[in-house]
């Protein structure tokens, strides 16, 4: 039942977004939706680790950036984008294995600052190694098609949502949630917690690496360190918490709100949307641990109750 | 090399003072205040503002300290106080999240108010140096070392000698037992948090005299947290030597790998220590 | 009447642990609360001290209603507690622990005389005064925990499982001390698993089973009751 509804929603969304470019030609809107797909990818992959497994990472910018960097280097060297994207995302997994896994060995309360330190190391190192911005050469620019970027980003976002949904509904997902809710208890029940955390980290870094690849494919010119900026770590944390930690719809909702708000305020003032989001984030952590999703469920149950009472009368 | 070491020591003292505020709240409440760096930068803007009105940065420091103290108390009252009842891991995690939001809030408000430009406070004496035994000592850096020493001794005496200081120590060791002794745990936590934010005013002045912009707070927080970890969580007396250690390590790395990787040194040490001693260095120690 | 607990319910989240508990302690008495593991003894004593909030009922100390008071206010109004597991400040020395005991404003001026008194009761503490509390032996820690509570100069003392993990000889010594303290005018409310020993020094006792008071009476009479004999004194 639940599964079928999810299927229908998923297919409907694919159809709508798939035919959208036929209706809307505006480059601006295609860009906006591409950013939406990118944010969903980053937030949902973060959600697998942070929301479902309870390991809050502030280091996803390192995996995002690595995906972007390697994809870009391979792609601009002449390899087609899809193999480049795969290689880039796999290099994110390698980085996660090399440096992220040791962080999982720390007490989970310290995981956020450990990963934050990693992200900072990655950013500084890349900024030092590649001090100049990377621009696409003439040959790439003439062949630049917004539509192919749009569809690839859509594909990656749908893949991310599907993978996370599928994992969360599997036995592995149960174990992950068990680790989040009570690691010691999960361990006692025979869940091999460390192995599961590594698995979540690997999948999460793979998906966010794909997102980084999309960034590299989409941007014409940027500093190589730009996708390593800490904001790529902060963004999924903010949006997922606000949307609803540990739900599939939460990060999507959060990403939409974030993008909407930043577009509204972009016209007038620069950073207002971040101020609003940071403040909302604090309120959510303090008072609404379930984020917007829990508010919507609350409202739904409230209206249901009112409706029931109304019919009774 | 000698000159590099001098700078290492001077920077290290600054790291020590930054770490002091972080160590205090972590030791007492197991709160990790990610926003400490941003609060330092906020203080620096305050000092800059007063400097434009003609007030010397070191003269305005006490006022800024007081204002930050009040701000810290208000922040605690409005948000962090709600975490006291949680388990230790819950307190670390949730305080980290709240202060993460706070950091973004302060950084972006600061960008709105003062733009993202780099600022610095430049009184007449800001570039002064003096030489001893062939080495150059910047005046402001030396003031930093002195103030670090004074503040650490003062804090130590406050914690060891006054009833209020003792109650802070008691809360840090067993808050429930402390409450049975008649200690008002909420008030003690509020005041320690406010003190730790007030302590940010010293690095505010010292960093303000170098240069700052709205988003560099996190980098200074990182220096502080590395020092806290090196000194052993909650070990206030170890903060100054640990700060010096980090400063000197950085200086040596600059000597060998060049300036761009200075920031990386501390972070690498940090990650290594965390990975090699996942429980060890974070183990409960004094205070 | 010094302490009056009426119709107290306590729950941890959804789990109710105490049901409709009534008891009272008069000035100068030694009152015992006995019951098996998990009966809710610690919960009751922690509720009186303010560490746990009751979900129903009232707790009065003298005329003051304690229900919603925080633990530090309850300590200031005259109730001290020796918690289960001692809960010393492990990194402070013995002396510093005792000084923390005298944190209450009314206890501060008399700190030195109280300290002499505590040292007189537990001479070993004087010898260990500069040793960190975490390094003391179990028995010494228990003495320090009692000494620390006495430093507060309160008239009412709650004691939770003093005998836990101590040798019989030491238990006897500590119970003797309790009698001494009581003679000095301090009212005692004792939670214990060592029922025979407790009933010997107590005036009255309550029996708590799975969260309910199932019996009460004069201690000496309870010792004769068949239920107590069977359940707590190991006599069938
Ligand atoms: N903080 C808590 N949260 C949830 N349940 C608790 C908590 N503390 C105690 N309990 C439960 O309440 C019940 C009573 O516990 P309590 O510690 O009061 O028993 P007790 O009589 O002191 O036992 P013992 O003789 O073993 O010390 C137990 O079932 C225990 O599991
Ligand atoms: Mg007990």
pLDDT of residue C19: 94
For chain C, how many structural domains are there in total?
Answer: 1
Any domain includes C139 = no
User: Does residue B163 register a pLDDT over 80?
Assistant: yes
Q: Are C33 and C195 in contact (CB under 8 A)?
A: no
Any domain includes A257 = no
Query: Could you tell me which chain B residue has the CA closest to the CA of A276?
Result: B105
C56-61: strand order across its sheet: C15-25, C3-12, C56-61, C64-65
Cα(A103)–Cα(A97) distance, integer angstroms: 10
User: Does residue C71 register a pLDDT over 80?
Assistant: yes
What ipTM describes this predicted complex?
Answer: 0.91
Q: Please indicate whether residue A109 or residue B217 has the higher confidence score (pLDDT).
A: B217
Any domain includes A272 = no
Q: Give residue C145 CA to ligand 1 midpoint distance, Å.
A: 21
| Residue boundaries of the structural domains of chain B | 2-217
Any domain includes A278 = no
pLDDT of residue B287: 42
Q: Are A290 and A240 in contact (CB under 8 A)?
A: no
pLDDT of residue A270: 62
**CB distance from C8 to chain B under 8 Å?**
no
B222-238 tens-digit pLDDT: 999 888 888 876 677 78
Mean pLDDT of B131-151: 83
Residue to substitute in C14, C18, C36, C40 for testing ligand 1 pocket (most ligand atoms within 8 angstroms of CB): C40
pLDDT of residue B271: 76
A33 CB-near residues (< 8 Å, 6+ apart): A17, A20, A150, A154
A239-262 tens-digit pLDDT: 999 999 999 999 999 999 999 888
How far lies A168's CA from each of A165, A174, A253, B31, in Å?
Answer: 5, 7, 18, 31
Q: Give residue C42 CA to ligand 2 midpoint distance, Å.
A: 4
Among the listed residues B215, B194, B198, B219, the one whose alpha carbon sits nearest the alpha carbon of residue B104: B215
**CB distance from B167 to chain C under 8 Å?**
yes
- Return the minimum-mean-pLDDT range out of A64-68, C65-69, C105-109, C229-233: C229-233
Q: Give chain C's length.
A: 236
User: Does residue B79 register a pLDDT over 50?
Assistant: yes
pLDDT of residue A142: 78
pLDDT of residue B280: 43
**CB distance from C134 to chain B under 8 Å?**
no
**Pairing mode, if any, of strands C156-160 and C64-65?**
unpaired
The percent of residues above 90 in pLDDT, for chain C, comes to 75
**Pairing mode, if any, of strands C64-65 and C56-61?**
antiparallel
C4: β partners: C24, C60
Any domain includes A6 = yes
User: Does residue B134 register a pLDDT over 80?
Assistant: no
Any domain includes A301 = no
Any domain includes A295 = no
Question: Is A in contact with C (3 or more beta carbon pairs below 8 Å)?
Answer: no
Any domain includes C15 = yes
Query: Could you tell me which chain C residue has the CA closest to the CA of B164?
Result: C103
| pTM, full prediction | 0.88
Cα(A289)–Cα(A246) distance, integer angstroms: 10
A90-135 tens-digit pLDDT: 999 999 998 888 888 877 778 888 899 889 889 988 998 888 888 8
For chain A, how many structural domains are there in total?
Answer: 1
Any domain includes C35 = yes
pLDDT of residue C235: 62
Mean pLDDT of B259-275: 79
**CA-based R_g, chain B, Å:** 18
Any domain includes A297 = no
- The CATH number that applies at residue C233 is 3.40.50.300
Any domain includes C120 = no
Structural domain for C38, as ranges? 1-78+156-165+188-236
Any domain includes C200 = yes
């Amino acid at each position: 039942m639940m599964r079928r509804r999810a299927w229908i929603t998923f297919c409907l969304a694919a159809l709508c977004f798939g035919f959208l470019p036929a209706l809307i030609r505006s480059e601006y809107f295609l860009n906006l939706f591409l950013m939406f797909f990118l944010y969903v990818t980053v937030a949902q992959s973060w959600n697998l680790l942070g929301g479902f497994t309870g390991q809050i990472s502030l280091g996803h910018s390192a995996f995002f950036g690595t995906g972007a960097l390697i994809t870009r280097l391979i792609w601009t060297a002449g390899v087609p984008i899809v193999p480049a994207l795969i290689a880039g995302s796999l290099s994110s997994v390698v980085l996660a294995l090399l440096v992220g896994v040791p962080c999982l060995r720390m007490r989970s309360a310290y995981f956020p600052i450990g990963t934050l330190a990693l992200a900072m190391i990655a950013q500084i190192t890349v900024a030092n190694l590649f001090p100049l911005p990377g621009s696409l050469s003439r040959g790439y620019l003439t062949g630049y098609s917004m539509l192919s970027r749009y569809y690839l980003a859509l594909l990656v976002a749908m893949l991310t949502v599907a993978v996370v949904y599928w994992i969360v509904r599997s036995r592995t997902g149960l174990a992950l949630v068990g680790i989040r809710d009570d690691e010691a208890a999960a361990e006692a029940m025979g869940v091999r917690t460390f192995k599961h955390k590594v698995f979540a980290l690997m999948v999460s870094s793979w998906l966010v690496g794909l997102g980084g690849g999309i960034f590299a494919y989409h941007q014409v010119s940027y500093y190589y360190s730009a996708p390593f900026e800490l904001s790529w770590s902060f963004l999924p944390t903010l949006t997922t918490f606000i949307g609803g930690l540990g739900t599939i719809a939460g990060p999507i909702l959060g990403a939409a709100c974030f993008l909407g708000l930043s577009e509204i305020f972009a016209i007038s003032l620069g950073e207002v949307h971040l101020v609003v989001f940071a403040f909302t984030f604090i309120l959510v952590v303090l008072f609404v641990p379930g984020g917007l999703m829990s508010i919507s469920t609350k409202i739904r149950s409230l209206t249901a109750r009112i409706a029931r009472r109304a019919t009774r009368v | 090399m000698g000159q590099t070491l001098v700078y290492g020591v001077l920077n290290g003292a600054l790291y020590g003072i930054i770490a002091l505020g972080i160590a205090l709240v972590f030791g007492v409440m197991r709160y990790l205040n990610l926003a400490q760096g941003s609060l330092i930068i906020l203080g620096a803007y305050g000092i800059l503002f007063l400097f434009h009105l003609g007030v010397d940065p070191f003269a305005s420091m006490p006022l800024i300290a007081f204002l930050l103290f009040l701000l810290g108390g208000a922040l605690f009252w409005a948000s962090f106080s709600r975490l006291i009842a949680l388990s230790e891991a819950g307190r670390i995690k949730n305080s980290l999240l709240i202060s993460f939001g706070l950091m973004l809030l302060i950084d972006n408000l600061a960008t709105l108010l003062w733009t993202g430009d780099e600022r610095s406070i430049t009184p007449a004496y800001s570039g002064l140096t003096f030489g001893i035994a062939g080495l150059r000592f910047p005046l402001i850096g030396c003031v930093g070392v002195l103030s670090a020493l004074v503040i650490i001794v003062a804090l130590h005496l406050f914690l060891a000698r006054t009833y209020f200081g003792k109650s802070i120590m008691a809360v840090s060791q067993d808050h429930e037992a402390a409450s049975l002794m008649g200690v008002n745990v909420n008030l003690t936590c509020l005041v320690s948090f406010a003190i730790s934010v007030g302590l940010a005013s010293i690095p505010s002045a010292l960093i303000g005299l170098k240069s700052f912009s709205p988003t560099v707070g996190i980098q200074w927080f990182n220096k502080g947290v590395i020092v806290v970890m090196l000194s052993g969580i909650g070990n206030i007396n170890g903060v100054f030597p640990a700060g010096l250690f980090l400063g000197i390590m950085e200086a040596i790395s600059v000597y060998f790998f060049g300036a761009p990787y200075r920031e990386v040194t501390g972070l690498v040490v940090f990650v290594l220590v965390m990975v090699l001693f996942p429980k060890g260095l974070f183990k409960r120690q004094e205070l | 009447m010094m302490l009056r607990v009426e119709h107290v319910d306590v729950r941890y989240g959804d789990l109710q642990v105490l049901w409709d508990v009534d008891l009272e302690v008069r000035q100068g008495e030694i009152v015992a609360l006995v019951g098996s593991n998990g009966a809710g003894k610690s919960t009751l004593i922690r509720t009186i001290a303010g560490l746990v909030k009751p979900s129903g009922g009232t707790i009065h100390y003298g005329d003051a209603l304690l229900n919603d008071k925080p633990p530090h206010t309850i300590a200031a109004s005259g109730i001290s507690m020796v918690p289960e597991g001692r809960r010393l400040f492990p990194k402070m020395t013995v002396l510093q622990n005792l000084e923390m005991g005298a944190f209450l404003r009314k206890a501060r001026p008399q700190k030195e005389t109280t300290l002499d008194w505590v040292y007189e009761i537990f001479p070993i503490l004087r010898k260990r005064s500069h040793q960190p509390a975490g390094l003391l032996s179990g028995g010494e820690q228990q003495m320090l925990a009692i000494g620390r509570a006495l430093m507060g100069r309160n008239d009412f003392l709650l004691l939770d499982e003093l005998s836990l993990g101590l040798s019989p000889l030491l238990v006897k010594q500590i119970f003797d001390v309790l009698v001494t303290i009581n003679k000095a005018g301090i009212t005692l409310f004792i939670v214990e698993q060592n029922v025979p020993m407790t009933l010997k020094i107590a005036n009255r006792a309550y029996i708590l089973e799975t969260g309910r008071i199932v019996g009460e009476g004069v201690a000496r009479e309870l010792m004769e009751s068949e239920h107590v004999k069977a359940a707590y004194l190991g006599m069938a």
